[in-house]
Amino acid sequence: QIRFHSCAVVGGIQATDTSHPRNSAIRHLTKNLLQKYHKEVRPVHNWSEATTVYLDLFVHAVLDVDAQNQKLKTSIWYREVWDDEFLYWNTSMFDDIREISLPLSAIWAPDIIINEFVDIERSPDLPYVYVNSSGTVRNTKPIQVVSACSLETYAFPFDIQNCSLTFNSILHTVEDIDLAFLRSREDIKHDKKAFLNDSEWELLSVPSTYNILQNSAGDFAQIQFNVVIRRRPLVYVVSLLIPSIFLMLVDLGSFYLPPNCRARIVFKTGVLVGYTVFRVNMSDEVPRSAASTPLIEIFFTVCMAFLVLSLSKSILLIKFLHDERCSGQERPLLCLRGDTDADGTRMDPKAQLAGNTESPICQEHQAQSGTLKEVWSQLRSISDYVQAQEQADQREIEWLALLYRFDRLLFRSYIIMLGLYTITLCSLWALWSSW
Ligand SMILES: *[C@@H]1O[C@H](CO)[C@@H](O)[C@H](O)[C@H]1NC(C)=O
Ligand SMILES: *[C@@H]1O[C@H](CO)[C@@H](O)[C@H](O)[C@H]1NC(C)=O
Ligand SMILES: *[C@@H]1O[C@H](CO)[C@@H](O)[C@H](O)[C@H]1NC(C)=O
Ligand SMILES: *[C@@H]1O[C@H](CO)[C@@H](O)[C@H](O)[C@H]1NC(C)=O
């Protein structure tokens, strides 16, 4: 065991021995570079010269689009490159080392931040940067940015979002730190190689601008990248739009039933329940924001309003028809009652006659004129009743005609609304696909 141990130790020493010269060169170089380095000094010989920081950005993934809180979460790969005039060496003096990595904490670094960030950026704390022999420092890091963005949900699910990421130095003015693009702006704009394709969002482009922000503290250089993304709508079309259109078509089909049919109410109620269940199910699929309501939400509400309107119309119609039927049943009864009354009155004098055999003739005359009067009044009351009934019937018929007209109007509005819905969706889709 001891022999094995000593062997291992010897082996270890030998291994360090073989790589000893290079190892010492790199240590020597690092020591050399950092010995007289002051990281608190901006690395320029001439202080009036600005340090130019070159920025580059790859959008890697869109992690979350939160319309309710107006936040966008993206994963980006960010690179900054600058020249450090104090970090350079003669490669032939250091074993041809062209690049070494140095701890970021040991050298000067620009204080560039993203203006829109609203949450702690989660980026792995990478401790090293690369420096080459002419003093160019490269710092690359992946960042998860949660940025504030004004998200428009109006055209959901055919929406395009435009969120900006603005980089600038938090403290240094443009006289000290200037910004520039590492690649050409066209390259940055159309670079989608790093983007993960199979998410809900599709990267359209990353246009960028350089400008100088002037405020009371001075002029600041800033670079703005606009991340333009568009939603893939297929899943929403299949799960949201098509079912809603089907429900509307079913509802439209109910106009095919005669308007005075009671089954229509049952049918409409069924559709209304179906619609409610559908909306409750879909409520978390539709993004909500206080600023803008999605157009399809408005459409759902309008559809519901139409459903309720036509349902109440059907109920009204059935009520009128029911009234009519009731009065239709009552009428013969009344007539019958009238007949029995008339019979009774007619029988009465006869009974009187039968009862009073010794009655005088004038009495009979009186009785006869009494019955005539009674008949007359009965006839009048009947004719009054019939007239009133006719008037009521007339009014009912007018009401019914009005309701039937309303039914037709509603049907036309349904058609118009469905047409508008379809046209709007198609134009939104056309706008979406024209990007
Ligand atoms: C680098 O060092 C070599 C050898 O020491 C020397 O010949 C050469 O001139 C130096 N180059 C520069 C740019 O100083
Ligand atoms: C160091 O990197 C910069 C930028 O990539 C390049 O322009 C320069 O030529 C490199 N220097 C050496 C000595 O390779
Ligand atoms: C994105 O928004 C910025 C302003 O924030 C605007 O300048 C730019 O034109 C917009 N880009 C697109 C493609 O809409
Ligand atoms: C995403 O798709 C584009 C073309 O649309 C392709 O160039 C790119 O390599 C794809 N990215 C990934 C990560 O697959």
Give me the pLDDT at residue 14, please. Answer: 41
DSSP 240: I
The whole-angstrom separation of Cα 127 and Cα 13 is: 29
Ligand minimally distant from the alpha carbon of residue 61: 4
Give me the pLDDT at residue 267, please. Answer: 87
For the Cβ of 192 lying below 6 angstroms from any atom of ligand 4, the answer is: yes
Asked if CATH classification 2.70.170.10 holds for the domain at 24-232, the reply, yes or no, is: yes
**Under 8 Å between Cβ of 226 and 189:** no
DSSP 307: H
Give me the pLDDT at residue 19, please. Answer: 53
Give me the half-sphere count of Cα atoms (radius 13 Å) on the Cβ side of residue 237.
11
| CA 274 – ligand 1 centroid, Å | 84
Best CA proximity match to 66, nearest among 147, 144, 158, 167? 147
Q: What is the pLDDT of residues 78-129, one digit of tens each?
A: 999 999 999 989 999 888 889 999 999 999 999 999 988 888 767 788 889 9
Q: Is the dihedral of CA 274, 279, 284, 285 positive or negative?
A: positive
Give me the pLDDT at residue 46, please. Answer: 92
Helix, strand or coil for residue 330?
helix
Between the two ends of the chain, the Cα-to-Cα distance in Å is 72
**What is this structure's pTM?**
0.76
Give me the pLDDT at residue 7, please. Answer: 39
Q: Residues 6 or more apart from 216 whose CB is under 8 A from it?
A: none
Q: Which amino acid is at 93?
A: M
Give me the pLDDT at residue 364, please. Answer: 63
In terms of C-beta density within 10 A (0-12 exposed, 13-18 middle, 19 or more buried), how is residue 242 classed?
exposed
Among 147, 159, 162, which residue has the most ligand 3 atoms within 8 Å of its CB, making it the best to mutate?
162
Residue numbers of the chain with a pLDDT score lower than 50: 1-18, 329-355, 357-358
Considering only CA atoms, which residue is closest to atom 10 of ligand 1?
90
The domain locations on the chain are 24-232, 236-433
Give me the pLDDT at residue 63, please. Answer: 92
DSSP 239: I
